[in-house]
Amino acid sequence: MNNLRGKRAILYRRVSTTDQRIHGNSLDAQRDSLRQFCLTNGVEIIKEFQEDHSAKDFENRPVFQELLRFVKLRKNEIDLLLVTQFDRFSRNLMLSLGKINELRECKIEVNAIHNWTNWDSPNHFIPNILNLSLPESDNRMRAYRTKEGLRQGLKEGRYNGKQPLGYMPGKDAASKVLMQPDPVKARLISALFKCFATGRFSQNQLLKDERFSLLKLTKSNLSRILSNEIYTGRITLPAFDEEVETTIIGQHESLVSMGTFQKVQEIRNHRKKQAPKAQKFNPELPLRGHLKCPKCSRNLTGSGSKSKSGIKHFYYHCNSRLGCDYRGRRQEHHKAFNTLLESIRPKDGVAQLFEAILRDEFNTRNNSAVSELKQAEKTLKTLQNKKDALLDKLLEGIVSNADYQTHISNLDGKMNEVNAHIDRLNGTDTGIEDFIPFGISLLTNLEAVFEKASVETKHQLLGSILAEKLELKGGKYRTPVFKEGFGFIFQSVSQSVTR
């Protein structure tokens, strides 16, 4: 070490919360060492600086910035900037070198009392660089280890990121970290998926739906929620080093069945494809989009045009550019539509009777689904037994580890298929079951519902009732083709009326 007697120094001390907790590298300890060093070597202390900020960069350290301003004002009175170790100065190699050079141009030498560097000696160049790079390398190792630790958790099926909406931090029976369903929000998340899976609601409608207000949904987080596989109990393990991305069965409780999740994805993909041609709703022409041209069977559109007297008249018309001149007055169509609604309304007092009949009929149809379900569960049991037997064989050394892995993943694949099938069976059941009371109340109040509804709801209603577009014939619509659920109800209704 050169002779430092008579040199003037500023001292810089830094500590972050981690340092204090882990390394016991307190500001007091740094202060004592620095002062002791100056006293021993006859160095004059001009000013002392200290702060508790991380050492990622210099810009975000307010005290260090103050130090630089001080240096600018009094650079001729300063020879040294002293720290206890270089990692107090910076933990980033490139930034360290840059700043050391910058200060050197002001004739100020940066040095660390615990690993003193001779900047002028060429023999010290490599050790110097190593010294400066150690903190950064240490940081990188720590980050890598953290990442590895997190991945290990994921591989064990323990999701360790920030809990997705609907879960909260928790522990399993063995006191290991495992997120748990939030007592209130978890049910809302399940309901949200089920709602969207019916296909009757758009994302915008869910955003406005008061039932979900507690979830504080926004456009972007709703979309993220609906596509997050974690709700089905699965975890995505991202690609890392040489490992490719994989899906892992998590240990956390699922909130959404695989069948519902897949249905939601289908709907989302389907809507995305259709998104560009955004439908325009015109309250004046609520049937637009649900009518078929009586002349050429293309879809009818509609528009209004002003007559000479200035009154606007509305028409449902065909596409003249494609050579069809069909043009029907709005009034004519709406009258026919009302007639149609009247014709499908059941007579007073029959509704309850329908419900009983419908449930009966539903149960008959449902029996086949029930037996299918039983069969699937049996298959599932068999597969599980095979898995157990395979494990026994592995333990007894009859099969090799590699063979075991192949067979297990084969069996797991089959089990996933069966599970998805079960979900689908369960899903369809509740679909029709839910539709019975809904369909009946709709059927008995159709005209009133339709009259009061907004144009969006009208479209939605028509969309959920009609499987094909309406076609005007002789001032009336032809007997409409109904969607499965509604058609099922409508048929039973008309049969019991005529019976």
Contacts to Zn ion by CB under 5 A: 293, 295-296, 318, 324, 326
In whole angstroms, give the CA distance from residue 489 to residue 31.
84
CB of 292 to Zn ion, least distance (A): 9
DSSP-assigned letters across all residues of 286-330 = TTTTSEE-TTT-PBPEEEEEE-TTS-EEEEEE--GGGT---EEEH
CB of 422 to Zn ion, least distance (A): 47
Distances (CA, A) of 229 to 39, 164, 262, 263, 267: 64, 11, 10, 13, 15
CB of 278 to Zn ion, least distance (A): 24
Pick between residue 179 and residue 318 the one whose CB is nearest to Zn ion. 318
List the beta bridge partners of residue 240.
243
Pick between residue 114 and residue 295 the one whose CB is nearest to Zn ion. 295
Q: Which of 78, 404, 458, 88 is nearest to 287 (CA)?
A: 458
Number of H helices, E strands in the chain: 15, 14
Pick between residue 211 and residue 295 the one whose CB is nearest to Zn ion. 295
CB of 465 to Zn ion, least distance (A): 23
In whole angstroms, give the CA distance from residue 11 to residue 78.
11
Structure tokens at 302: 């509609």
In whole angstroms, give the CA distance from residue 181 to residue 251.
12
Q: Are the beta carbons of 472 and 333 closer than 8 angstroms? A: yes
Q: Which of 238, 244, 202, 200 is nearest to 223 (CA)?
A: 202
Q: Which of 71, 167, 455, 146 is nearest to 285 (CA)?
A: 455
Pick between residue 204 and residue 297 the one whose CB is nearest to Zn ion. 297
H or E element in which residue 349 lies: none
Pick between residue 148 and residue 325 the one whose CB is nearest to Zn ion. 325
In whole angstroms, give the CA distance from residue 133 to residue 97.
10
Pick between residue 167 and residue 316 the one whose CB is nearest to Zn ion. 316
* Residue matched to tokens 């002062």: 35
CB of 212 to Zn ion, least distance (A): 43
Structure tokens at 439: 């369909």
CB of 333 to Zn ion, least distance (A): 14
Pick between residue 8 and residue 298 the one whose CB is nearest to Zn ion. 298
CB of 299 to Zn ion, least distance (A): 9
CB of 326 to Zn ion, least distance (A): 4
CB of 375 to Zn ion, least distance (A): 50
Instruction: Say how many CA atoms lie within 13 Å of 19 toward its Cβ.
Output: 21
Amino acid making up residue 226: L
- Residue 5: which residues within 8 A CB-CB, separation 6 or more? 41, 42, 43
Pick between residue 110 and residue 318 the one whose CB is nearest to Zn ion. 318
Pick between residue 227 and residue 297 the one whose CB is nearest to Zn ion. 297
CB of 295 to Zn ion, least distance (A): 4
In whole angstroms, give the CA distance from residue 226 to residue 211.
17
Backbone phi and psi for residue 221, each to the nearest 5 degrees, phi listed first: -75, -30
CB of 483 to Zn ion, least distance (A): 24
Pick between residue 66 and residue 468 the one whose CB is nearest to Zn ion. 468
CB of 348 to Zn ion, least distance (A): 40
CB of 471 to Zn ion, least distance (A): 11
Pick between residue 269 and residue 320 the one whose CB is nearest to Zn ion. 320
Pick between residue 322 and residue 402 the one whose CB is nearest to Zn ion. 322
Amino acid making up residue 219: K
* Residue matched to tokens 């955004």: 278
Q: Are the beta carbons of 131 and 15 closer than 8 angstroms? A: no
Pick between residue 237 and residue 296 the one whose CB is nearest to Zn ion. 296
Q: Which of 139, 68, 162 is nearest to 106 (CA)?
A: 68
Structure tokens at 483: 């969607």
Q: At what angle do helices 351-395 and 484-498 cross, to 10 degrees?
A: 140
